[in-house]
């Protein structure tokens, strides 16, 4: 009997949790989750406006040759911003390559965030200082890092949480399943947040998994799970707040799946018209998370026209700063190629470093 009760407690809601309909009106489908305070919702809106403008600017910079590649998260702003707002300063964020807006919302400098995508370095910021792991390109490897770090923090007596952002394609990787199993067994304080945006590059969800929802994948490992409307900022923030509190209280990991959509292509190198119809894209544009939250806050008199203008002006100023930073040419140090490869350099690496140093000295001489 106890096993049945425990299993039931792990199951996600039958339908995604949501507070707002696509038109921004209030609905009663939130499953008892508490609505976030008004000031946090206004801040979420401000960061979503900022994040969308940042995303558009970064996309434009790829066309100007200032970025090698950029994976847009347009349409996923509610997920990106809520991920940052749900965390406190001591918590760790483990992002993927598509989560630059989450890093902006976390307060990192745009130039440092885009260093990876520009090709200057593997990571442009200090992970230890920012509590943000390097953006991860290999699918699902960051889930293991998050689970391990969360376990270590718990053993040290720290009340911090690790938060791993994941795409739907990553749930098909072995690392994802190993991380869930480890985290559940050791009750590691980690939240696994799957942004199911409909496609793993060009592979649609229905060709990835036969599960009714990815959230159900947590149940078999003993991980409490939930699914949420990823374009409803109220719902995402409320569910993530609850998940982080659950993990922080020592009750074990949580798996949350957000149902959202990738409006733009996989990256600027991808032609999404080859595998999806424009009508599908337009359908999801109607569920725009920024407009949905704006409509709700305006109707509640929590957001005025002046506020909207002010936030948009802030976003334009921010985008101009991103342009200025990325338009400045970088003079990379060739010797930095050998840094951060091994904690203690191997003999082979030391020999390679000496060879490059000698060649540079010969050229300069």
- For residue 216, indicate whether it is catalytic: no
In this predicted structure, the answer to whether residue 205 has a pLDDT above a threshold of 50 is yes
- Choose, from 118, 145, 151, 266, the residue flagged as catalytic: 266
- For residue 97, indicate whether it is catalytic: no
Q: How far is CA 218 from the centre of its chain?
A: 19
Residue 219, φ and ψ in degrees, nearest 5? -60, -40
- What mean pLDDT is predicted for residues 124-135? 97
What's the predicted TM-score (pTM) here?
A: 0.93
pLDDT 10s digits, 277-329? 999 999 999 999 999 999 999 999 999 999 999 999 999 999 999 999 999 98
In this predicted structure, the answer to whether residue 137 has a pLDDT above a threshold of 50 is yes
- For residue 262, indicate whether it is catalytic: yes
Percent pLDDT > 70 in the chain is: 99
Instruction: Tell the burial category of 361 from Cβ atoms under 10 Å away from its Cβ (0-12, 13-18, 19+).
Output: exposed
What band does 1 get if pLDDT is binned at 50, 70 and 90? Answer: very low
- Choose, from 275, 276, 312, 353, the residue flagged as catalytic: 275
Q: What is the pLDDT of residue 331?
A: 83
| Orientation of helix 38-63 relative to helix 77-85, angle to 10° | 120
More confident residue, 340 or 116: 116
- Choose, from 18, 98, 131, 262, the residue flagged as catalytic: 262
Q: What is the pLDDT of residue 322?
A: 97
pLDDT 10s digits, 23-60? 999 998 888 999 999 999 999 999 999 999 999 999 99
In this predicted structure, the answer to whether residue 339 has a pLDDT above a threshold of 90 is no
């Amino acid at each position: 009997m106890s096993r049945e009760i425990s299993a039931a407690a792990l199951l996600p809601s039958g339908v995604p949790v949501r507070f707002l309909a696509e038109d921004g009106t209030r609905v009663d489908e939130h499953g008892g989750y508490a609505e976030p305070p008004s000031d946090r919702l206004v801040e979420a809106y401000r960061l979503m406006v900022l994040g969308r403008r940042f995303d558009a600017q970064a996309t434009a910079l790829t066309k100007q040759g200032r970025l090698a590649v950029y994976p847009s998260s347009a349409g996923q702003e509610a997920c990106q911003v809520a991920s940052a707002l749900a965390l406190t300063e001591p918590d760790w964020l483990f992002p993927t390559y598509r989560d630059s807006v989450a890093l902006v919302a976390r307060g990192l400098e745009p130039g440092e965030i885009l260093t990876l995508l520009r090709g200057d370095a593997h990571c442009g910021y200090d992970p230890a200082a920012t509590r943000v792991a390097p953006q991860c390109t290999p699918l699902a490897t960051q889930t293991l890092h998050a689970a391990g770090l969360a376990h270590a923090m718990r053993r040290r007596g720290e009340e911090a949480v690790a938060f791993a952002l994941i795409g739907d394609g990553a749930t098909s990787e072995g690392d994802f399943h190993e991380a869930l199993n480890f985290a559940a067994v050791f009750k590691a304080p980690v939240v696994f947040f799957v942004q199911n945006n409909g496609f793993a590059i060009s592979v649609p969800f229905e060709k990835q998994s036969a599960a009714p929802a990815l959230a159900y994948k947590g149940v078999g490992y003993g991980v409490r799970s939930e699914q949420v409307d990823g374009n409803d900022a109220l719902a995402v923030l409320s569910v993530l707040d609850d998940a982080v509190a659950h993990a922080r209280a020592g009750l074990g990991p949580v798996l949350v799946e957000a149902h959202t959509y990738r409006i733009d292509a996989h990256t600027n190198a991808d032609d999404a018209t080859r595998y999806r119809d424009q009508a599908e894209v337009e359908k999801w544009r109607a569920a725009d998370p920024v407009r949905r939250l704006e409509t709700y806050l305006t109707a509640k008199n929590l957001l005025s026209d002046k506020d909207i203008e002010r936030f948009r002006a802030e976003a334009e100023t921010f985008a101009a700063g991103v342009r200025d930073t990325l338009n400045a040419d970088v003079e990379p140090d060739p010797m930095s190629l050998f840094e951060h490869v091994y904690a203690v350099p191997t003999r082979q690496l030391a020999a390679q470093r000496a060879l490059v140093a000698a060649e540079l000295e010969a050229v300069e001489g």
